[in-house]
Amino acid sequence: MKSFQNLLLLQNLYRLRALDFKYSDPFSINKKNFIEKPNSIQELTNNISTCHLCDLSKSRTQNMSGFGNINANLMIIDYTVSLNEDITNSYFTGRTGEILTNMILNVLNLSIEDVYFTHCVKCKPLNSNTPSTSEWDSCKDYLFSQIEFIKPKVIVTLGKDAYAKVTSENENFQNVRGHVINFKEYKLIPIEHPNHLLRNPDDKKIALKDLKTIKSCIC
Check residue 127 and give its pLDDT.
Answer: 74
Residues in a beta bridge with 137: none
Q: Which three-class secondary structure string do you get for the chain?
A: CHHHHHHHHHHHHHHHHHCCCCCCCCCCCCCHHHHCCCCCHHHHHHHHHCCCCCCHHHHCCCCCCCEECCCCCEEEEECCCCHHHHHHCCCCCHHHHHHHHHHHHHHCCCCHHHEEEEECCCCCCHHHCCCCHHHHHHHHHHHHHHHHHHCCCEEEEEHHHHHHHHHCCCCCHHHHCCCCEEECCEEEEEECCHHHHHHCHHHHHHHHHHHHHHHHHHC
What domain count does the chain have? 1
In a domain? residue 144: yes
The pLDDT-based confidence of 166 (bands split at 50, 70, 90) is very high
In a domain? residue 30: no
Strands of 186-191's sheet, edge to edge? 67-68, 115-119, 74-78, 154-158, 186-191, 181-183
Return the half-sphere exposure (C-beta side, CA atoms, 13 A cut-off) of residue 195. 10
Residues in contact with 3: Cβ distance below 8 Å, sequence separation at least 6, in sequence order: 134
Residues 112-133 pLDDT 10s: 999 999 999 999 888 767 888 8
Query: Is the distance from CB of 146 to CB of 186 less than 8 angstroms?
Result: no
In a domain? residue 126: yes
Question: Which domain, by its residues, includes 62?
Answer: 55-218
Question: What amino acid occupies position 210?
Answer: D
Q: CATH no. for residue 72?
A: 3.40.470.10
In a domain? residue 39: no
Question: What amino acid occupies position 61?
Answer: T
Q: How far apart are alpha carbons 10 and 6 in whole angstroms?
A: 6
In a domain? residue 46: no
In a domain? residue 182: yes
Considering only residues 111 and 12, tell me which one the structure prediction assigns the higher pLDDT.
Answer: 111
Check residue 11 and give its pLDDT.
Answer: 72
pLDDT at 58 over 90: no
Check residue 34 and give its pLDDT.
Answer: 47
Query: Is the distance from CB of 76 to CB of 119 less than 8 angstroms?
Result: no
In a domain? residue 124: yes
pTM over the 0.75 mark: yes
Mean pLDDT, range 150-177, rounded to an integer: 96
Residues 19-57 pLDDT 10s: 666 654 554 444 444 446 889 999 999 999 888 888 888
